[in-house]
Amino acid sequence: MKFKILTLFPEIFPGPLAYSICGKALSRKLFTIETINIRNFSEKKSKIVDDNPYGGGPGMILKPDVMQKALDCAMKNSVKKKKLIYLSPGGKQVNSEKINQLIKFDELILICGRYEGVDCRFLEYNKIEEVSLGDYVLSGGEIASIILIDACVRLIPEVLGNKNSLKSESFQNHLLEYPQYTKPSNWKGIKVPEVLMNGNHKEISDWRLKKSIEKTKNVRPDLFKTFARKNREIK
């Protein structure tokens, strides 16, 4: 999978993506990252890329003409099965379903805003989808891109050593993961539940499902509703 990133700060990448599971996948070329520096496409001597918002107001807006040139450059040698994404608090919030859809593309072109964001005509003209990380405002789209890439990369076959890790993870089947324990079996007087040590796989998986349901109901009633609805549909 290929990620092309339009950014004013290419030096931020690969950043945390160069470590651990993603780092190994990056060095095995299971995914690649290419940055496109938006500033290189300014025609001004000063390399300015933004201007004041029409109608007034604080902050600066990334200019559509500069953004377009940066995007045109990213689109050169682009594959057919690609998707254009603008990381933005104004987008629909990304979830695990969305990540599962995104990994079906061979290439994601990720546009990182700064300041007050980008001129909306650039988004409309290029049919760019806005994707948000959550209901808060970040200073730029770079960290959001890194999170999105990380979430995609761990779903690429061969990236995770143990493929079963994905099966029981949070959000698979619309549930949060069950509580996990490791050695020692008694820590500060808190004992690991007996059922996890008896080797009975059926009892263990029943207990885990029960705990997953309890936790999801408690912490994420919205997610639990989806789980309950999907289960009714299956039955």
Task: Please say which residue, 23 or 134, places its beta carbon nearer to ligand SAM.
Answer: 134
Cβ 151 to ligand SAM shortest distance, Å: 13
Residue range at the interface with ligand SAM (CB under 6 A); choices 5-13, 37-45, 110-118, 170-178: 110-118
Sign of the Cα pseudo-torsion (42, 45, 48, 53, in order): negative
Q: Which of 35, 88, 212, 216 binds ligand SAM (CB under 6 A)?
A: 88
| Tokens linked to 37 | 């520096």
What character string, x for contact with ligand SAM (CB under 6 A) and - otherwise, covers 31-70? Answer: ----------------------------------------
Neighbours of 51 (CB within 10 A): 12
Region 129-158 residues binding ligand SAM, contact defined as CB under 6 A:
132-134, 136-141, 144
Q: Which long-range contacts (CB under 8 A, 24 or more apart) does 14-19 make?
A: 15/146, 16/146, 16/150, 17/146, 17/149, 17/150, 17/153
Radius of gyration in angstroms for the set of CA atoms belonging to the chain, rounded to a whole number: 22
Q: Residues interacting with ligand SAM, by CB under 6 A?
A: 87-90, 112-114, 116-117, 132-134, 136-141, 144
